[in-house]
Structure 1
């Protein structure tokens, strides 16, 4: 009987692979090191994905579908022709709806890792709904307070995409900074990889996802 292998943390060899890929981002080098990638990075990433899916279901009583993004870069419209990403990224979408662009995010980088949650880009209807939530006397202050609290606790918020409040909304609206947004994702950056090495990696990431869950719950509320 085959015993299913469990996730034991991201191996140092996988992190080293990303660091070396950053310095040797070409197809011949990758071809020579493909076996290292498969064993030290791709295989543990798939195990990590499965365990995080299970933990999200257990914690939030809701199914999440994970997705690992391609290591190969899309070069069609890029001036940068390096063929591979030197990071490993994945996302977890509630109900498996990746098109909604709202979920939890993980990125393993050569020098550290990043965890996040929220909406990386609103659909036109989702953006309209979000803006009208901000106008609501109850929901507006609630989401503003939630975002401000996360930022005060060390989460990173990218600058708003718009320089001005969109037409149809008061320029001096109390939630003007949020009205200028076309996405809403909070990120936590970690230097080094200590939190990902060993069996505690999933639990480490879940603590961040639990802190971000109220934001995701607000954005995905019916």
Structure 2
């Protein structure tokens, strides 16, 4: 589990998102980040027993910086108000599908993963794999174990094309999946779950339900 103080820091940061405040509370930030880092290390240690592709990772390979890149954003707030970690073969900058943990107060936390906004080459490979092996892919994303945790693939804003991608048409039985630009699934977490003693177990179960999809996506990327 994570400490309540970690969520509290992120909540107060959202109300005071400026460098002067952050510098004055750096000790509190360091403690919160250490708490999150320790938890991610536990997740890697435990889930690495099921997915060997992540077993050698260190938490520091997976954690995102709290500083925002504001160069091209109208929002000039200097800090993110969440902690995030991408646990995939090769770390947070990997081209491979993997797992993700997002911690944000206000019941905005979630666990899940998959393949987020892959480059054109990887996306082409995934679409081809789905086209060639549609029955296997459909079985994965409609499996009761997957749907019980995630409901289905994420279909939020800007997740899909409005028209078939180049090389495919509406008659393709897999066309609705081929329109996806990302292949991810998210399991929401309430604040009470984030600070609950069973958080690690909840995360591991969510990752286990996602694992077959991760394998399918990475088989495509490696092809």
Alignment TM-score, normalising by the size of structure 1: 0.86
Whether 2:42 is the aligned partner of 1:42: answer no
Whether 2:91 is the aligned partner of 1:93: answer no
* Aligned-residue RMSD, C-alpha: 2.0
Secondary structure, in 3 states, of the residue corresponding to 2:173? coil
Q: CA deviation at 1:101?
A: 4.6
Q: 1:30 aligns with which of 5, 22, 36?
A: 22
Q: Deviations over 1:183-209 (max 9, x none)?
A: 1000111222324433x3322211100
Q: CA deviation at 1:46?
A: 1.5
Contact 1:118 1:186 in 2 (8 A): yes
Whole-Å Cα distance in 2 between the matches of residues 172 and 152 of structure 1? 30
Q: CA deviation at 1:10?
A: 1.2
Whether 2:214 is the aligned partner of 1:177: answer no
| Distance of aligned partners of 1:191 and 1:63 in 2 relative to their CA distance in 1, 3 Å threshold | closer
Whole-Å Cα distance in 2 between the matches of residues 100 and 93 of structure 1? 9
Whether 2:11 is the aligned partner of 1:19: answer yes
Q: How many residues align?
A: 210
Which residue pairs with 1:72 in the alignment? 67
Which residue pairs with 1:142 in the alignment? 136
* Larger Rg, first or second structure (1 or 2): 1
Whole-Å Cα distance in 2 between the matches of residues 142 and 101 of structure 1? 20
Whether 2:47 is the aligned partner of 1:53: answer no
Alignment TM-score, normalising by the size of structure 2: 0.86
Give unpaired runs (5+ residues) of structure 1.
1-8
Q: Deviations over 1:15-37 (max 9, x none)?
A: 11111111111112111211111
| Distance of aligned partners of 1:158 and 1:196 in 2 relative to their CA distance in 1, 3 Å threshold | farther
